[in-house]
Every structure is written in C-alpha cells, then in structure tokens.
Amino acid sequence: MEQAFLDQIVREIRQAVADMAAEGRLRREELFVLGCSTSEIAGARIGSASSQAIGDTVIDTLLDALAPYAMTLAVGCCEHLNRSLVVPRAAIRRWGLEEVTVRPALHAGGACGVAYYARLEEPAMVQAVAACAGMDIGHTMIGMHMRAVAVPFRPSVKTVGMAPLVMAYSRPRYVGGPRAEYP
C-alpha cells in the first residue's frame, strides 16, 4: 500500500470528522459507529480486496479524531458476522448492549474490525448499538446501528480513498401535531 494513499485516507477522515464537529453533531461521551469497506476504499468491490493496512489507518485516524469528544467507537463488521460490532467491554455495561461470541477476521468481519479489536485492552462483540453519530465508508449500511431519528450529514469530503462516504447524526423524534412547537 502506498504511503501517499494512506496519507490521503487520513486527511479525508480527519476532514469529515471536523466537518461534523463544526456543525455541533458530535456529542461528548456517546457512541459513534463506523461501517467501512477497505475493499471499496482501495477501489474494489466490497468484500473482495480487504486491506489490513487501510483498516489500521482508518481506525488509528478515527480514534485520534474522536478523542477530543470522548466518544466510544463501535466498529461494524460485515454481513459474515451479521453486522455485529466491536466495542470496548465497558460499553456493554454502560449502554446495556447484548454481547455475542465471535472474533473478527480479515475476511469475516473486515480489516477495520480486526484493527479495532487488536487495539482495545478489553474488546467485546455486540449484536447492535444505537449510536448518536456515525460514518459509513463504502455503503456498509450503518443505519441499523443509529438512534432514531438518523439524519444524513454531508461533509465536504465525499469519498475516503475511492469509497463513497456517508455520515449521519441522530436527533430526538418530533412528537405532537400541528399545534406543537419545537426549539
């Protein structure tokens, strides 16, 4: 993997997180979900060219970019693990998550899942989360792991590497009718 390409990935992820933060869409001490196809970042079809170098770069960059917000990262795995997620074990207790038994591998879970699992002191796998914000690199479908109501966010960065980038944040549901007032 060329260093210039990895450096590009770092810049794109940092900019996307900065855009979301500038709009006030990152809430301190909440969950941030990542769905990522390293194959798509490299310009290949999802699931066909997993890259541990890209996965390591994405995770290290995202952890660093989210650190000022004390957000807990939840990294989604591929469909081979039923979209389960890697989280720190403390997240299970804090958010009442359902633990599952599996460990991500490069071709069953994905490079980002493997990278994050390796970086955690106490990694755990869970069935689902309800994150307040997230990043989907390569159309990995993070919507199932977002709180209602998920709102698309359009950062200035449209891709990470060759993969399309979609971000989202959540807002409380609007309730009431025609006479209701909202802040």
User: Which residue ranges form the domains of the chain, and what is each CATH number?
Assistant: 3-170 (3.40.50.10360)
88-98 burial code (b ≥16 CB/10 A, e <16): bbebbeebebe
CA-based radius of gyration for the chain: 16
pLDDT tens for the chain, 183 residues long, are 799 999 999 999 999 999 999 999 999 999 999 999 999 999 999 999 999 999 999 999 999 999 999 999 999 999 888 899 999 999 999 999 999 999 999 999 999 999 999 999 999 999 999 999 999 999 999 999 999 999 999 999 999 999 999 999 999 998 887 788 888
DSSP strands (E only) in 44-162: 72-76, 85-88, 99-100, 123-126, 133-137, 150-153, 159-160
96 contact partners, CB below 8 Å, separation of at least 6: none
- With beta carbons less than 8 A apart as the criterion, state whether 170 and 148 touch: yes
- With beta carbons less than 8 A apart as the criterion, state whether 166 and 59 touch: no
The residue length of the chain stands at 183
